[in-house]
Amino acid sequence: MKPKISLIASAIRIYHWMDMYNSLRGNTYPFEVIFVGDTPPNFNLPKNFKYIHSKVKPAQCYEIGFRAAEGELIGWTTDDSTYDHLQTNNLDIAYDFFKSFKTEKLVVAMRPIEDSGDIWNNHYFFGKKRWTPYMAPFGIMSRKLLMELGGYDRQFICGQAENDIVMRVYELGGDCKICMDSYVAVHHVAVHKGARGHFRQWYPLDRQRLENCWVEEGYGAFQKGGRYTVSKKRLKPFEPFPERNILTVSAEPRGQWV
């Protein structure tokens, strides 16, 4: 039976992988997890938990996972998250919520709990600015639509590519809805302690890319307290990841993961 949902992540913290997987076992709909990264697990994975080895940049790892996925819906996640906060069927709830809208032009955001804090209201395009579009740090959408959109933009390095996807769904006339009853917990403090975390230095470049694609005044207008307008149309051309050598060669811009 094919999965209803495929969860994808760029992942290196193998010691947390089974915690994340086990937190999903209370769901009744079939699912799969696909982790892509440069750290192979030293233990056997369940049948519906796949690992793809690659040393390319994190955003490209997500794209590799997207292309390998078989689920009706596809979601971006992390290996420091769990899905059994308050109830054990949060994925089922998110799936049913998505299907209730009867449209593929939709991203469903699961409700994020970060280090025990409910942060669902912090994830608009500009943080807590509720007049800007809502984003989906843990989003679920139609795999068919994601493929039609071309997946992630190759210019992103580590983060913000998921926000670009949400904005491209808005551009199509779609929407992003948060499912307030479906939770995902993120354990940054406990999981990141002593772990590799050097990718965070690239986030400002990813944010710059995102704002230049969607803010009419360009990157920095919001940060400086000036006028800013979030565009309904993408302001820069979309650049897909190439088919050739996607597993082995990081698309520009490159960093120390090459």
Residue 48 lies in a domain: yes
pLDDT band at 203 (very low <50, low <70, confident <90, very high): confident
Please tell me whether the peptide bond between 3 and the residue prior to it is cis, using omega within 30 degrees of 0: no
Range of the domain at 21: 5-203
Residue 169 lies in a domain: yes
Query: What distance in Å separates the CA atoms of residue 24 and residue 27, rounded to the nearest whole number?
Result: 6
CB 7 within 8 A of CB 184: no
Pairing of strands 139-142, 73-76: antiparallel
Residue 85 lies in a domain: yes
Task: Read off the CATH number of the domain in which 55 is found.
Answer: 3.90.550.10
Sign (positive or negative) of CA dihedral 90, 95, 101, 106: positive
Residue 70 lies in a domain: yes
Residue 78: φ, ψ to 5°? -140, 165
Q: What is the pTM of this model?
A: 0.95
Helix H or strand E encompassing 210: helix 203-214
**Tally of domains in the chain:** 1
User: Tens digit of pLDDT for each residue in 139-190?
Assistant: 999 999 999 999 999 999 999 999 999 999 999 999 999 999 999 999 877 6
What percentage of the chain exceeds 70 in pLDDT? 94
Residue 30 lies in a domain: yes
User: Tens digit of pLDDT for each residue in 33-68?
Assistant: 999 999 999 999 999 999 999 999 999 999 999 999
Whats the size of the chain, residue-wise? 258
User: Tens digit of pLDDT for each residue in 122-144?
Assistant: 999 999 999 999 999 999 999 99
CB 164 within 8 A of CB 136: no
3-state per-residue secondary structure call for 124-171: ECCECCCCCCECCCCEEEEHHHHHHHCCCECCCCCCCHHHHHHHHHHH
Residue 257 lies in a domain: no
Give the residue carrying structure tokens 């009744």.
Answer: 28
